[in-house]
Amino acid sequence: MKNRIKLTFALLVSGMLAFGQQKETGVVKLRGTRLTYPLVNKWIAEFNKEYPNIKVAITPTAQADSIDFTIASYALTSKELDGNREGIAVSRYVQLLVVNNKRPDLAALQNTGITEQNLSNLFFSPTPTLTASTQTPLSLYVRDRPVCAVKAFAGHLGNDPKELRGTGIKGDDQDLAEAVRKDVNGLCFNNLGFIYDAKTRKVTDGLAVVPLDLNENGKVDKEEQIYGTLDQVIDYIEATHNPKFVNERVNFIYNKSSTNISAGIFLNWVLTKGQKFHRDLGFLSLDEKLLADQRTAIASTFKTSSSSCEGADEVIKKRKSKLVNN
């Protein structure tokens, strides 16, 4: 009898939530940091399986006042959050130094690694140097504009993004990686999602990671050799929280006066079910406390709750009571 009640209740809940998801309709527009697009597109694809009638799309050319979420992947300031704007963290990403894998001094670089100060000198000094022993020429490649990744990188090292040195590459971070692949002397900083292959979990062809010398003893110790696979890097960073890694949050900026219920449903989904897709694409998860705080923060704007089907909780409770009493 109890098993029949449990099965009936489970089917009831499943049916009600499915009905709620099917009836929701709307449009949600996003634009912003392009390095996040692989993750955002994955979110959209998975979200649409549950909410087929809510159209979520990245719309770079849409009018600003029609955008529900602007994606900003750097530390937000009062300038970005002026007026009625609010920012919510939805993910994290990490940037590493990469070089062409045919570079003559690659073995030496991977044995000695690079310190934060070396990294700063490399991209922000008038006379860039990689390490004291490096003799191979340096071809620095950077984005051609102070985009989010540049702001995050410069901010981590205490520098002005406008002072970044290197040959500017148009396009996005994938184009930046491609420039390094084509130049044996090339190097750049890039995010995990474009350094590693999402399927093989290994560094993509043509690139090689320059390890961080975390304890700054002039060599990469065994415990610092964590770049073999994408999962190895993520595991290490999430376990140690070492502040020397260039990492930053991915934020969604929105208008606190928004009346787009569909936008709230999508954002709440990203902060719950969407979190499991980070690692696959080279992003890092947010801790549970922060996620809980973020979900609470958006509730006042989007009137979100634990259930996206408004009123379903109360109905389910009544049906459950009736089933049990019978």
User: What CATH architecture applies to the domain 2-90+252-322?
Assistant: 3-Layer(aba) Sandwich (3.40)
Question: Which pLDDT tens digit goes with each residue over 118-147?
Answer: 999 999 998 887 765 667 789 999 999 999
Question: Which pLDDT tens digit goes with each residue over 11-43?
Answer: 443 444 444 455 789 999 999 999 999 999 999
HEC string of 57-121 equals EECCCCCHHHCCEEEECCCCCCCCCCCCEEEEEEEEEEEEEEEECCCCCHHHHHHHCECHHHHHH
Q: Strand 139-143 and strand 167-169: pairing?
A: parallel
Mean pLDDT confidence for 55-62: 95
**Range list for CATH 3.40.190.10 in the chain:** 2-90+252-322, 93-247
What are the C-alpha distances in Å from 259 to residues 62, 68, 80, 304? 18, 10, 21, 12
Question: Hey, what CATH topology would domain 93-247 get?
Answer: D-Maltodextrin-Binding Protein; domain 2 (3.40.190)
Q: What are 188's strand-pairing partners?
A: 98
Question: Which pLDDT tens digit goes with each residue over 252-274?
Answer: 999 999 999 999 999 999 999 99
Spatial CB neighbours of 312, under 8 Å, sequence gap ≥ 6? 16, 17, 20
Cα separation, 45 vs 57, in Å, equals 10
